[in-house]
């Protein structure tokens, strides 16, 4: 693939206006993010499990569902920590996650609405827990960056296939 994950990350940060203030806020709420990650996974996988096609993909291999759930919880928490201040390691991990989505057949028609469910769920939780709306905005921005990585993986893989 020709994509440089760190370059892509930088470009997406500018496009969605992810600020240093957003990063500071996300880091300050990392414990809360860890606390609600499993609940967010419940919303995500309940939604996907109601889709016959996605349910089949998730249950295709023994243990896949459990691995996906562990990965989701880690992914959600990493949005708060930034791993390496949302640098190279973060970008490369997001790129790998995108490629895995392509590999196992989780298409954009599944990813986009499922991400919307996550955004709705954490927005509701932010309200319930009386968190600042700035947290919702920051978390929404980083979610959109992560979603862009997944979508870009489809573009890159499709383009590479077309060049063969």
- CATH number for position 135: 1.10.490.10
Q: What number is the average pLDDT over the span 71-92?
A: 96
pLDDT over 90 (residue 2): no
- Say what the pLDDT of residue 157 is: 82
Type and span of the H or E element at 114: helix 108-128
What's the pTM? 0.90
Q: What number is the average pLDDT over the span 92-97?
A: 95
pLDDT over 90 (residue 57): no
- Does 50 map to a domain? yes
pLDDT over 70 (residue 162): no
- Does 152 map to a domain? yes
- Does 72 map to a domain? yes
The mean pLDDT value of the chain amounts to: 91
**What is the tally of structural domains in the chain?**
1
Range of the domain at 98: 5-159
- Say what the pLDDT of residue 80 is: 98
pLDDT tens digit sequence for 107-125 = 888 889 999 999 999 999 9
Nearest to 74 by CA among 94, 54, 48, 57: 94
How many angstroms separate the CA atoms of 95 and 89, rounded? 10
Q: How confident is the model at residue 33 (pLDDT cuts 50, 70, 90)?
A: very high
pLDDT over 90 (residue 49): no
How many angstroms separate the CA atoms of 156 and 140, rounded? 24
- Does 164 map to a domain? no
What is the signed CA dihedral for 56, 98, 78, 133, rounded to 10 degrees?
Answer: -90
The greatest distance separating any two alpha carbons of the chain, rounded to the nearest whole angstrom, comes to 53
């Amino acid at each position: 693939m020709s994509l440089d994950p760190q370059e892509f990350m930088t470009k997406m940060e500018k496009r969605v206006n992810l600020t240093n203030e957003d990063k500071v806020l996300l880091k300050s709420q990392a414990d809360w993010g860890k606390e609600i990650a499993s609940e967010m996974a419940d919303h995500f996988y309940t939604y996907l499990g109601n889709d016959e096609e996605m349910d089949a993909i998730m249950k295709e291999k023994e243990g896949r569902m459990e691995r996906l759930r562990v990965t989701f919880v880690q992914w959600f928490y990493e949005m708060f920590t930034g791993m390496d201040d949302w640098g190279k390691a973060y970008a490369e991990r997001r790129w790998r996650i995108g490629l895995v989505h392509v590999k196992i057949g989780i298409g954009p028609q599944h990813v986009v609405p499922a991400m919307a469910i996550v955004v709705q769920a954490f927005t509701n939780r932010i309200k319930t827990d009386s968190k600042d709306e700035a947290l919702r905005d920051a978390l929404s921005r980083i979610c959109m960056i992560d979603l862009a990585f997944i979508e870009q993986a489809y573009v890159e893989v499709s383009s590479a296939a077309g060049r063969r």
